[in-house]
Structures are given as C-alpha cells and as structure tokens.
Chains A and B, each alone.
Chain A
Amino acid sequence: MNFLETFRVSLEAIMSNKVRSGLTMLGVIIGVMAVILLVSIGEGARVYITRELSGLGTNLLIITPGKTTTSGGFHPPSAGTVRKLSYDDAQALKRRAWLLTDAVPIVFGTGRIKFQNLGRDTTIIGTTPEFQRVRNLFNDKGSYVTQADVDSKGKIVVLGTKVKEELFGDQNPLGKVVLLSDARYRVVGVMRKKGTSLGWDIDDVVFIPVTSGQELFDTDGLFEILASTPRVEDVDNAITQIKDILIRRHAHKEDFTIQTQGAILSTMNTIFGVLTAVLGGIAGISLLVGGIGIMNIMLVSVRERTREIGIRKALGARNRDIMAQFMIEAMTLSGVGGIIGILIGVGLALIIPEFVDVLPTSISAWTIITAFSFSAAVGVFFGVYPAHKASLQDPIQALRYE
C-alpha cells in the first residue's frame, strides 16, 4: 500500500467527520499560533533593545566608581563607592590610555530649569566637549560645551529640543539666562532633535560643563567616565590599560567597575532570550494540550472504526498498513492545524505592532520552522499510541465488534 493511497484513505476519514476534525485541529492551531505570536513578541523586544543599544556603539566603555562583581546590567550611580572617580582620573586616562579615543567625565542628575515664569524638571548632564563625539549627539544651533567652559567652570547651558520648546516656544533662546537649581546659566546652544531611546527622552535634557555640574550636584567626584575605542577589537586591551592607570592612581585598589556596551548588550540579549524561551515554553504547553486532544480523538476514532480495521485486515491489510493509516491521519490533523496556526500567528504578529506601539514583534523563519516541526512532532508522538493500538487489533475480535 503506497503512501498516496494511505493518505487518501486518511483524508477521507478526516473529511467524513468535519466538525470533530476541525475541533481537534483547533487545539493545534491555537498552540502553534500562541508559540509564534509569543516568540515573535519576545524576539521583537530583544531585537528592539539590541538595536537601540548597539546604536550607541559597541566600542563604548563605561567606568563607574565602586567595585561590583556583576558583569553588566545597570547600577545606581555611586552605589557603594569606596573612592570616587575624579575629573583628574578622566584627564589621566585621556592623556595616558592611548588605546582610547576619548575619556569623558560625566556627572548627571535631575534638576529644575526655569526661564521667567516657566519651569521644568529635566535631566542635567555635566560633561566635556568630547561627549558629543562619543554619544553621537550634536548641537543644532549655537555651540556646545567647550574645553574653556570646563576649565573655567563656565555657567553655560546647552538645551535639548524639548526643553527649548517648553521654555522658549518659538523664541530664540541663545544668550538668554535661565535658572538651574537657582544658579544663573546662559544658554549657548540647542541640540539636534533625537527622539526617544530605551524609554529615555534624549531631547528632554540639558548639558553643562562637568566642572559646573560637580558644583551644582555638590560633589567632587564623577558619576561615570565614558570612554571609547576606535575599534571594537580594542575594547579588551583598553580595559587592561584603564585598569593599569586607575589602580595606580587609586592606591593599588580596584575600586571601580568597567562595563562595556558589548557586555551590557549580551546581558540584555541573554535576558530577552530567556524571556522569549519562557514565553515560547508557555505557548508550547498549549500545543502539548492540543496534541493530547489529537490523541484523544484518535483513540475514539480507532474504537469507532474497530470493525473497519477488522475488515481491512481480513482483506489483506498488514499491521503496518493500519498503523500508517492512523498515523497519517493524526499527522494530517496536526500538520494542517500547524499550517493554519502559522498563518494566523504570523498574521497577528504582523498586525499587532500596527495597533500596539509598545509591542514590537519580530518573526523569524526559525520560529516558524520550529513551531511547525514541533506541531508535526506532536502529531507523530500523540498519533503513535492510537495507531499502534489500531494495528494490533485482532481481526476476528474486530470483525465481531458492533
């Protein structure tokens, strides 16, 4: 008995009870659909985060004060600091760590900026001119923080576009005086519009010289030093170099932490990979339930068709012919269910981001192939037992079965 013939017989059995076959398939359809949809959402989140982070540059190094043993993730600024990082540390790195293109000292915090009767709470970043190059943020009008401003603790401020719009509207802000936590600062520039990244509005920020920032936040340390290498391959050597220089300056103690953008990226990748796996696993359970539905129906079907099995055996069907007939029936149910599930799952994954902004989705061929193989495997796995049971029917008993 060839495959095509067996397939025809199985198809005939499926079509002869459309409602039941449809409901059986529904279990698999929902399972496959859930797998594809949830994995797409998990993948979408991962791809989104990865793209945003690598957009900042994977050749970036972040040096924070305090020693932590974790290899990535975010830390609250200055947590558990033993010895602060100083402006001089940054200068030393800039002078002596030749593998680094930049070493940018940074202080930051939130504060209130006021112009006439308008005020706004915003992020204040104290930094040096190199910040622009490292983070790829440039000013649109006027100028940025200059080295002279840093050296002289100049009371100048560069506004993010959102801050500018809120406080000045259509007016030209250049040369105007604003109050930053009650200190008078002169506006010298406005940044180029950048939008939101990782939930942080890059336009809702103001820049001041790092030295002025230390005064403003009343600290003599830095919150972090942002460094960059010309090439990603130099990152590891640069870390060694930074350690050498800083440990010597810090009384032979490694009381700082160097994070690389790459490490953060891979941590994020891992976190979202796990998230995706968990989502997929949960959806996989529903696929498993669908498979049990198939087994259930196949067992009923075998029982119902006991007599048919007996007749076929009497007429010369071998055990494996009967086995194949029921296996193909189960696999067709799960296979067709799988295909329909893929179509609906992919369709929803494409439609959902159109309506829900916060749910980016990413459909990969890999997801589809896995979901389909899994559903086919479910068909095989849950089809084997009923089919085996069918094939072992004693023809005499089966023929007598009413």
Chain B
Amino acid sequence: MIELSNITKNYRMGDVDITVLSGVSLIIKRGEFVAIMGPSGSGKSTLMNIVGCLDRPTSGVYRFETKEISTLSDDELASVRNVKIGFVFQTFNLLPRFSALKNVEVPLIYSGVPRRERRERAMPLLEKVGLSERMHHKPMELSGGQQQRVAIARALINNPPLLLADEPTGNLDSHSGEEILNILSRLNSQGVTIIIVTHDQNVAARCRRKIHMIDGMIIDDRMSP
C-alpha cells in the first residue's frame, strides 16, 4: 500500500542545508498497525508528513496505492488527503468556531458532498466514538479525550484506507489515551491501516510493527510476535 524508496528530505535554513531524512526505504502493507518511534529531530514527523501527502520528498520515490505521489500537483495531493488519508494530531486541530458535528463534516465539504448527506454520515460516526450527546458542543466545551474522539471521527468520515496519528495521546491523561488507543485498535481490526508516530513505549506496545528512527534513518524495524 505504501512504498517509500530512498526518500530524502532537505530543508534550507539560511545558508545551511539540513538533512532531515537521508535515504528512508519502507514498505507498509494494507491492514498494518505501525508505530514510528524516535527522539525529537529524528525525522519521524517529516516522514509522517511525506506519507500523509502534506509534503514532498526532496528525492526518492513514494508510491501510495500504486500512485506515484511526487509527481502529483498540489490539488491532486489535496484530493488524496481528502479521500485516502485520515489525520489525527497531537493538538487535535479542530476548528474552534464549529460544533463537533460541523468539524466532522469538514472533509466532506471538500469532497463536494451535499449538506444533508454530510450530516447523515457525520452523526453515526460521532455515535460510534461515543459522543452522540455532545455533537453540538464546540471544541472548547469538550475534554481533551472527547476532542480527540471528534478528530478521529473526522479522520474517518471519508472511509480512508489509511489513518495517520501524530502523538495522538500526547496531550491526554492516561485514561483518555487508553480510550483513544482502544478506538484505533478496533479500527485496525476492521481493516484500516494505521501509522502512529510516538515516543511513548506504552503506545508503541499496542502496535504490531515498530520502526525506530534516528538522524533521519530507520535503524530498527521489527514485528511483534
């Protein structure tokens, strides 16, 4: 499903080139549950951004479902993000002025789904993550765990085959974090490919495959039994 070969990423900071990724090759198959681990600055977030089609590699080839990503235009990347990939962020990234329900609907706005259908699709998803009572609350009126559940519902609204989670439990207490991980595990068992970026061992322990990165390179890649 995901095939990275020899991906590099350089940033230019003033006169200095900074290499964030130096030759990452990786294959992730449909239905996998992967944790990408490593210290800050190891390049795991950059890798995540490239996999999530938010960023393009400086060199190397990235194939997503046989599509060569590096050749796509900005608009085509937007469409891939919209339909194929769900994002869950550490800071939730909900739109503060919108209700939970509206937030879940946002990706459908960009898929051109009419209003009524958007509502009909968003409501059951919020029920599924246990927020049927709080659909009309704004993010500020929800707890961190609840906000992250809204974000997960939003990530799932277009039934994407891939879910990317960047430190999804980083801003949550352990109980809420546990709930979020349970939801993610359940989704994975339903066939959604999930990649979590984390430096929390407990989170990584829930994943079947663990990839370790240091200095822009993969140094360890192993499957749990």
Contacts and interface: CB of A to CB of B under 8 A. Distances in A.
Interface stretch (B62-70, B89-97, B189-197): B89-97
Contacts of B81: 313-316
Contacts of A320: 75
Contacts of B180: none
B95 A311 contact: yes
Contact of A315 (B75, B97, B112, B154): B154
B78 A317 contact: yes
B113 to A, nearest CB: 10
Nearest to B91: A399
A169 to B, nearest CB: 79
Contacts of A312: 95, 106, 110
Contacts of B83: 316
Contacts of B89: 399
Interface of A is mostly: helix
A355 B122 CA distance: 60
A311 B93 contact: yes
B78 A5 contact: no
A307 B139 CA distance: 15
A310 B112 CA distance: 19
Contacts of B112: 1-2
A12 B97 contact: yes
A318 B78 contact: yes
Nearest to A13: B97
A399 B166 CA distance: 12
Contact of A316 (B55, B82, B95, B115): B82
B163 to A, nearest CB: 13
B54 interface: yes
B110 A314 contact: no
B93 A318 contact: no
B79 interface: yes
14 contacts: A1-B112, A12-B97, A307-B93, A310-B93, A311-B94, A311-B95, A312-B106, A312-B110, A313-B78, A314-B52, A314-B81, A318-B74, A319-B75, A399-B89
Interface of A: 1-2, 5, 9, 12-13, 16, 307-308, 310-321, 395-396, 399
Given A314-B87, A315-B110, A395-B54, 18 more contacts: A2-B112, A5-B115, A12-B97, A13-B97, A312-B95, A312-B106, A313-B54, A313-B81, A315-B154, A316-B78, A316-B79, A316-B83, A318-B75, A319-B75, A321-B110, A396-B49, A396-B54, A399-B54
Interface of B: 49, 52, 54-55, 74-75, 78-79, 81-83, 87, 89, 93-95, 97, 106-107, 109-112, 115, 154
